[in-house]
Amino acid sequence: MLQFPIYLDNHATTRMDPRVLEAMLPYFTENFGNAASRNHSFGWVAEEAVEKGRKQIADLIGATSKEIVLTSGATESNNLAIKGVAEMYAQKGNHIITAATEHKAVLDTCKRLEKHGCRVTYLPVGQDGLVDLDQLREAITDKTVLVSIMYGNNEIGTIQPVREIGAICREKGVLFHTDGTQAVGKIPVSVLTDNIDLMSFSAHKMYGPKGVGGLYVRRKNPRVQLTAQMDGGGHERGFRSGTLNVPGIVGLGKAAELCSLGMTQEIARASELRDRLKDKLLSELDETYINGSVDHRLPHNLNISFAYVEGESLLMGINDIAVSSGSACTSATLEPSYVLKALGAGDDLAHSSIRFGIGRFNTDEEIDYTANKVIEVVRKLRDLSPLYEMVKEGVDLSKVEWAAH
């Protein structure tokens, strides 16, 4: 039985796995201690749970427990990594390199630093959404202290060549941060083989609770130092003060463990569902384009532009399916997505795009319903579109001289 609305917005957040909730529950009530209380068993029990969670997330990414700084989520982790490096290494230089398609938590952090005298290079991306490694290499100067390039993109699912980026950074003696929020738990990520020095992640993007996440901070070859952004009791080895969110950390750990155990099957299943959706849409609808690389892509992401259809009208037409459009996802105004624009998409195609984010709890029936519904609504909207009609009659729209009004 289908249940509505169907949730296909798993890049925005994921439903918490019931097994995660079950693991968390005792830490709200009977085991309510403060993990920093050293003098009694309430504190010891909480600390033990935190250390278990820390180990579980460390294991998922090939790190050690001591390299995990627990935070409130990926936004905070990105802030801590970028501002923390900029402040700590200010003597060495003031230049940061990032990419145009990063999450706002990275871009706006960089903008803030520009106001404080940092110089930031925003690398462009190709039509496939990938950064160019030669451009990266050329952008690095002796003033560069950090390269921050995300692992998997939250809109178009593009997986960057993280290992190669890390290798270039290592060769040049520059620290490498990656926003791993969309990749960790979904595809194999190893901070060791991927040459990562700092990596942000978040529990609620991997079937865990909201409001908890972390930052991987490398401890050797090289040992990364950071200036804390939150001062206080000196928790988390001084990197991030504040009483630990014990139930949240238990949930983060459990979510990491479940992702690790099921990863191979989940990758196969998500890509199967994604390809089923993609194949149906592309075979039934013309003037339909996939945004971002098809090969270097998260298995659960599909981002498609339906030319001659307004994204907002399409969203309204499929309002029993929860997805995001390329115009609504970054702001309340109808700005076309800056990520799609960075790929070179025109405003029209950016406005007509839909992001489908497939997750652990989606079913075959949901995918089939979605494909059929989208096909039906796109056809209906195009029947009403004079532009689409002209194109079908063979008119070259680029040659049409529109009357001014």
Catalytic residue IDs: 329
75 near ligand PLP (CB under 6 A) = yes
Judged by CB under 6 A, the stretch of 72-80, 85-93, 261-269, 364-372 that binds ligand PLP is 72-80
Q: At what angle do helices 246-284 and 364-383 cross, to 10 degrees?
A: 50
C-alpha pair distances (Å), 14 with each of 8, 81, 333: 9, 24, 25
Q: How far is the CB of 370 from ligand PLP (least distance, A)?
A: 21
Neighbours of 295 (CB within 10 A): 8
| Distance in angstroms (rounded) separating the CA atoms of residues 252 and 373 | 35
Neighbours of 8 (CB within 10 A): 25
Judged by CB under 6 A, the stretch of 68-76, 87-95, 167-175, 318-326 that binds ligand PLP is 68-76
By beta-carbon proximity to ligand PLP, the closer residue of 247 and 317 is: 247
By beta-carbon proximity to ligand PLP, the closer residue of 298 and 371 is: 298
CA 149 to chain centre: 11
Q: How far is the CB of 75 from ligand PLP (least distance, A)?
A: 3
In the list 73, 208, 251, 311, the residue contacting ligand PLP (rule: CB under 6 A) is 73
And the tokens for 383? 């029947």
Q: What are phi and psi of 179, to 5 degrees?
A: -85, 100
Question: Binding pattern to ligand PLP, positions 8-37, x when CB under 6 A?
Answer: ---x--------------------------
Output the residue with the shortest Cβ distance to ligand PLP: 73
CA 382 to chain centre: 32
Question: Binding pattern to ligand PLP, positions 227-256, x when CB under 6 A?
Answer: ------------------------------
By beta-carbon proximity to ligand PLP, the closer residue of 203 and 377 is: 203
Question: Binding pattern to ligand PLP, positions 177-216, x when CB under 6 A?
Answer: --x-xx-------------------x--x-------x---
DSSP state of 211: T
Place of tokens 């070259």: 396
Q: How far is the CB of 72 from ligand PLP (least distance, A)?
A: 7
By beta-carbon proximity to ligand PLP, the closer residue of 112 and 119 is: 112
DSSP 143-189: TEEEEE--SB-TTT-BBP-HHHHHHHHHHHT-EEEEE-TTTBTTB--
Which amino acid appears at position 20 of this protein? V
Q: How far is the CB of 252 from ligand PLP (least distance, A)?
A: 11
And the tokens for 57? 């997330």
Q: How far is the CB of 340 from ligand PLP (least distance, A)?
A: 16
Question: Applying CB under 6 A, what is the total number of residues that bind ligand PLP?
Answer: 14
Neighbours of 100 (CB within 10 A): 16
Instruction: Enumerate residues 6+ apart whose C-beta is below 8 A from 52.
Output: 250, 253
Contact present, 172 and 140 (Cβ < 8 Å): yes
- Which residues from 103-162 bind ligand PLP, rule CB under 6 A? 103, 105, 150, 154
By beta-carbon proximity to ligand PLP, the closer residue of 107 and 140 is: 107
Instruction: Enumerate residues 6+ apart whose C-beta is below 8 A from 124.
Output: 99, 100, 131, 132, 135, 342
Judged by CB under 6 A, the stretch of 32-40, 57-65, 176-184, 226-234 that binds ligand PLP is 176-184
By beta-carbon proximity to ligand PLP, the closer residue of 75 and 370 is: 75
Judged by CB under 6 A, the stretch of 55-63, 174-182, 232-240, 310-318 that binds ligand PLP is 174-182
Q: How far is the CB of 339 from ligand PLP (least distance, A)?
A: 11
Helix (H) or strand (E) holding 301: strand 301-306
Contact present, 297 and 157 (Cβ < 8 Å): yes
Residues in the chain, total? 405
Q: How far is the CB of 269 from ligand PLP (least distance, A)?
A: 21
Q: Which residues bind ligand PLP (CB under 6 A)?
A: 11, 73-75, 103, 105, 150, 154, 179, 181-182, 202, 205, 213
